[in-house]
Amino acid sequence: MQVDRSYQCKDVLILAYQSFGVLFGDLSISPLYAFKSTFSGNLSNYQSEDVIFGALSLIFWTLTLLSLFKHVIILLNADDNGEGGIFALYSLLCRHAKFSLLPNHQTADEELSTYHNPRYSYRNLQSPTVKRFAERHKKAKTALLLLVLFGTCLLICVGFLTPAISIRSAIEGVKVRSSELHYGVVLIIACILLVGLFVLQHRGTYRVAFMFAPIVILWSLSTAAIGVYNILKWNPRVYKALSPYYIYTFFRDTRYDGWISLGGVLLCVTGAEAMFADLGQYTAASIRLSFFCIIYPCLVLQYMGQAAFLSKNFSAVSTSFYASIPDSLFWPVLVMATLAAIVASQSVISATFSIVKQCYAIGCFPRVKVVHKSKWFRGQIYIPEINWVLLVLCLAVTVGFRDINHFGNAYGLTYMSAMFVTTWLTALIINFVWGQSLVLALLFALFFGSIEIIFLSSSFIRISKGGWVPLVLSVIFMLIMFVWHYGSRKKYLYDLHNKVPMKQILTLGPSLGIVRVPGIGLIFTALVSGVPATFTRFLTNLPTFYQVAVFVCEKTVLVPYVPQKERYLIGRIGPKSFRMYRCIVRNGYKDVQKNEDDFENDLIMSIAEFIQLEAEGSGTLEGSVDGRMAVVRTSEKFGKRLEISELERNGEASSSMPPTILNSSKSHILQYLQSTYEMESPGSTLRRRVRFKLQPDMNYRDPNVKDELLELVEAKQSGVAYVLGHSHIKAKMNAPCLKRFVIHVAYLFLRKNCRAPAVVLNIPQTCLIEVGMNYYL
């Protein structure tokens, strides 16, 4: 037990060290602009020690209540299988109450090992009235989804505001020593750093990530040491400002001007959301250790040091941080501030990619290219489209906001609005998921929500001075998400309404009334049951199909990750002689497919395992219309039914055992065209090519099973084709004008300017078949 505890302590310490470079960069650089933004308005006319102490007291208690108590102590407990963030809260709510709007939910999804958390085993013991009301009313579910989307849009805005304000604030320190330096020079340096930061995103951070934690730790300790120096040198009495009494004297003396200054005070907690949003890479214990031992005391000491300096040098309030640095340490601290700002920016950009990926996973964002390389860290992704959008917006606000205080107004309003959304979602978690009383949930929402409302009321006064930018962009992003979700859901409901009855398929017989040719046809559909109209339309226009037909449905389950062995759900459609199967690929909202090329091979292995399990279990499914599904990868014999050998580029097997030669049905001309395409397409030559064969020592109880497996292997050797629907969306003739505008203008515009399904699925052009379909929504 002592050995286990020592290992656990070691793991916590390692994670705590690593967390500095990812979670606390944004929070640790807030001293660069917190005091400056607080005294940017009429508050600069109150040049007294009590006002300085009052501002410090406000910063201290805001940091303590919102960062320490709300996020570190309470919110870190609201994790979804170790993951945090707004989507984690929404996922918990959807799993423990019927709030989800995802249309293809199955009872089998609830059997996933990550679906239920043992800590919430008492989830069904009570059903609050509010919960029953929300479950029965679709408008309540839609309102909850809009709230979540608005919160994520605010965090996307943080993705371009953080690099702009942090790097700009760090670079402006040069003007303290070079007062004659032109504003344009600072702007050019900041823009160069920003462009370099975004241009290098596609390379990942795995080569330099080891430097992030030491940079933030050194930065935090340095700012704390400077704070202690300023306390001892300028005003040792500053510790008295930690008393809440100075908050009272602050508002008593400043009144309306003091209330307006709260928009600058709230900048001291910008970055607190990152501790919860990026929880999945670490543990709650490691984050608490880092925050309690380093981040929190260092921030408090730095703010106290700035307050002590300002109490004797109020004229330097516009450059309070850099002006308080001893002369001998100025340039090293400036370099560290710039590095810390880059680390903070990198973490926020990566978090923005993750947020967009989660929106895309639940059908609330247009199709984008998600890049993940095997040498990158788990969960680290890159989205080219979002990267360039963030760069353009970042440069726009950097050049457009000449006054750094406008950055603070926009930044503070965005972060506090996101915090307010998180507060109300957490209140629902307390009641619906944790099973606590409604009174306790309301007390949490009212206590922290009232604090955030006070700060927001102050920030809204500054909307005309930069605060309007994130609000307008958040509304635009939210409209994009909601339009895409609306169009996608209507399209799914159309497919569901027009799916082909199985009785119609069964009357056609095993040949389906068409010519069956060698090969495997993968028909992609959003349906988890039934036969999509795409398939019958294909047969109507071309009465030929492959000998093995697999209906593939890729869907998202509201869990962060689906274990690989539980990902594939395999079943049979119709009698065995039809050779028609169904494969449901279940992904979590944070899952990233690392090896798309292995999908075909995994599918073949899964179907082969299903055929064997079906025969070993019972033979009563011969006449089933739409057979039961099975999670085949949990079988102990998975992967042992077929032999697999790697093929070299020349087509020969690399295995030492010569596999059974299976002749391809493709003509020499088609084989020549495919090889030519693969030579001209660099990505195609990197695809993994394998060959399957039956295990020679496998005993089969039913000879039909061997024939079915052999037919499956021969079909794979003949080739695999991907059948996708190429949809043309139109609104019904009698649809309202607003719906026609949403479908014909907004939704179609998004469809034309996003990635095609074949590109997202990484399907080679030589294997793609698109079937045109008209949708009248």
The answer to whether residue 625 scores a pLDDT higher than 50 is no
Please state, in angstroms and rounded to a whole number, the distance separating the CA atoms of residues 599 and 585: 10
Contacts of 409 (CB under 8 A, 6+ apart): 37, 263, 459, 462, 463, 465, 466, 467
What is the arithmetic mean of pLDDT over 321-333? 91
Confidence of residue 619 (pLDDT cuts 50, 70, 90): very low
The answer to whether residue 661 scores a pLDDT higher than 70 is no
- Report pLDDT for 534: 86
Residue % of the chain over a pLDDT of 90: 36
The reported pTM is 0.87
The answer to whether residue 247 scores a pLDDT higher than 90 is yes
The answer to whether residue 666 scores a pLDDT higher than 80 is no
What is the arithmetic mean of pLDDT over 372-384? 75
148-162, 243-257, 697-711, 739-753, range with the lowest pLDDT? 697-711
Does residue 622 contact residue 576 with C-beta atoms inside 8 Å?
yes
Please state, in angstroms and rounded to a whole number, the distance separating the CA atoms of residues 662 and 643: 14
What is the arithmetic mean of pLDDT over 711-737? 88
- Report pLDDT for 634: 58
The answer to whether residue 671 scores a pLDDT higher than 90 is no
Confidence of residue 467 (pLDDT cuts 50, 70, 90): confident
What are the distances in angstroms from CA 416 to CA 247, 251, 409, 677?
20, 21, 11, 53
Please state, in angstroms and rounded to a whole number, the distance separating the CA atoms of residues 150 and 148: 5
The answer to whether residue 627 scores a pLDDT higher than 70 is no
Confidence of residue 200 (pLDDT cuts 50, 70, 90): confident
What are the φ/ψ torsions at residue 771 (nearest 5 degrees)? -115, 120
What are the distances in angstroms from CA 298 to CA 28, 336, 576?
9, 15, 68
Confidence of residue 633 (pLDDT cuts 50, 70, 90): low
- Three-state SS string across 428-488, please? HHHHHHCCCCHHHHHHHHHHHHHHHHHHHHHHHHCHHHCCHHHHHHHHHHHHHHHHHHHHH
Ordered alpha helix ranges (H), 293-403: 296-312, 320-323, 330-361, 384-400
What is the arithmetic mean of pLDDT over 281-289? 88
- Report pLDDT for 624: 38
The answer to whether residue 694 scores a pLDDT higher than 90 is no
- Report pLDDT for 206: 64
- Report pLDDT for 5: 56
Query: What's the mean per-residue pLDDT of the chain?
Result: 84
> How many CA within 13 A on the CB side of residue 225?
9
Please state, in angstroms and rounded to a whole number, the distance separating the CA atoms of residues 87 and 151: 9
Confidence of residue 379 (pLDDT cuts 50, 70, 90): low
Residue % of the chain over a pLDDT of 70: 86
What are the distances in angstroms from CA 126 to CA 89, 135, 434, 440?
20, 14, 11, 15
Does residue 120 contact residue 78 with C-beta atoms inside 8 Å?
no
- Report pLDDT for 675: 59
What is the arithmetic mean of pLDDT over 510-536? 86
Please state, in angstroms and rounded to a whole number, the distance separating the CA atoms of residues 609 and 483: 41
Nearest to residue 600, comparing CAs of 761, 428, 369?
A: 761
More confident residue, 668 or 727: 727
The answer to whether residue 480 scores a pLDDT higher than 50 is yes
Helix axes 138-171, 183-199, angle to 10 degrees: 130
What is the arithmetic mean of pLDDT over 339-344? 92
- Report pLDDT for 681: 54
- Report pLDDT for 528: 87
Q: Tell me: the pLDDT tens digits for 556-612?
A: 998 988 888 888 899 888 888 888 899 999 999 988 876 555 788 888 888 888 888
Let me know if 704 is exposed, middle or buried by CB neighbors in 10 A (0-12, 13-18, 19+).
middle
75-79, 428-432, 613-617, 698-702, range with the lowest pLDDT? 698-702
DSSP state of 591: -
CB atoms within 10 A of CB 143: 12
Confidence of residue 747 (pLDDT cuts 50, 70, 90): very high
The answer to whether residue 546 scores a pLDDT higher than 70 is yes
Please state, in angstroms and rounded to a whole number, the distance separating the CA atoms of residues 452 and 688: 53
